[in-house]
Amino acid sequence: MRQLFKAVMILLLLGTILPGITQAQSLTFACEDKQDFPTVIGNTDKVLDEKPGMGVEAIKLLEKKLDIEITIKRLPWKRCLRELEKGNIDGLFTASYKDKRKKYGRYPEKNGKVDPSRRFTSASYAFYKLTGSKLDFTGKNYKIFTGKVGGPLGYSIIDDLKKKGLQMEESSSTEIDFKKLLSNRLQAVAALELTGDYYLTMNKNFSKKIVKMEPLIVEKPYYFIVSHQLYETNHELAEKIFDSIAEIRENPDFKKKLADYLK
């Protein structure tokens, strides 16, 4: 009995000194509570049990690859950034690169610059207009947009288009923007192409009255980013996360799962 007690105490002591021996390291990552197809599915603060999104699928593979446990929180996008800045979460997914976002967290870098080779994915933005609208976007003639253009709250495309002279009206989701477009409260909508196309596919009222404009506005790489606090306290783990996300992106099984989402 004494030997058993002694053995238990040794294990507990080791667990206190070296937590990694008895349990995997626990991290918390956040993602948006609005749908960002196919990265995150559903307009909800919960992670869906079935087809939760490719970002969540990547987290599951990341846990196995690095032997860590990751809790996922779904929050409004701007709150995700604030929580990351405070160190209340360890990372978030996904974000395009903006200089001003570097205050919130750490991007994968190489030689002091963001490293696109360690992106999670690339995504395109497109304009959407009402069927029959005379808007004809060539890729350069931004002056055709004389009315308000809807866009996702806090996304980098908002600043990009403001610099082009567009009157941007932000909202919490592309679905809301499409409804505004139908009620003639917007001249057009700027949205992530996969998200916009998804809503056109899933909503017949949208698909009958809204069309995507070509060419696309821009294509951007998107990243998993980690808190400055995590990077400073566990630089090695943070770099492993960045490296692993790039490997997961190219994994054939992961690509096959993505194909299932896009069917």
Domains of the chain, CATH where assigned: 17-120+222-262 (3.40.190.10), 122-219 (3.40.190.10)
**pLDDT (tens digit per residue) in 132-186:** 999 999 999 999 999 999 999 888 899 999 999 999 999 989 999 999 999 999 9
Let me know: does 212 contact 174? Beta carbons within 8 Å. no
Q: Report which secondary-structure segment, H or E, holds 40.
A: none
Query: pTM (2 decimals)?
Result: 0.74
What does the block give as tokens for 229?
């606090």
CA distance 24 to 67: 6
What does the block give as tokens for 133?
């609208």
Query: What per-residue string of b and e applies to 48-63 under the rule 16 or more CB within 10 Å gives b?
Result: eeeebbbbbbbbebbe
Let me know: does 193 contact 123? Beta carbons within 8 Å. yes
Q: What is the pLDDT of residue 23?
A: 53
Over range 126-132, report the average pLDDT: 97
Report helix angle 174-182 to 193-202, nearest 10: 60
Over range 110-116, report the average pLDDT: 96
Let me know: does 104 contact 96? Beta carbons within 8 Å. no
Q: What is the pLDDT of residue 129?
A: 98
Q: What is the pLDDT of residue 18?
A: 45
Q: What is the pLDDT of residue 263?
A: 72
Burial class, 12, CB count within 10 angstroms (exposed 0-12 / middle 13-18 / buried 19+): exposed
Report helix angle 54-66 to 235-249, nearest 10: 130
Distant-in-sequence, close-in-space partners of 147: CB < 8 Å, separation ≥ 6: 167, 186, 187, 188
Chain length of the chain: 263
Over range 101-111, report the average pLDDT: 97
Q: What is the pLDDT of residue 3?
A: 55
**pLDDT (tens digit per residue) in 77-92:** 999 999 999 999 999 9
**pLDDT (tens digit per residue) in 239-249:** 999 999 999 99
Per-residue pLDDT band for 12 (boundaries 50, 70, 90) equals very low
Over range 211-226, report the average pLDDT: 96
| Four-residue CA torsion sign, 70, 74, 75, 77 | positive
Q: What is the pLDDT of residue 5?
A: 47
Q: Is 263 or 234 the better-scoring residue by pLDDT? A: 234
Instruction: Name residue 188's beta-bridge partners.
Output: 149
Residue 221 has phi, psi (to 5 degrees) of -80, 145
Per-residue pLDDT band for 10 (boundaries 50, 70, 90) equals very low
What does the block give as tokens for 253?
């099984």
Q: Is 41 or 1 the better-scoring residue by pLDDT? A: 41
Q: What is the pLDDT of residue 260?
A: 86
Per-residue pLDDT band for 14 (boundaries 50, 70, 90) equals very low
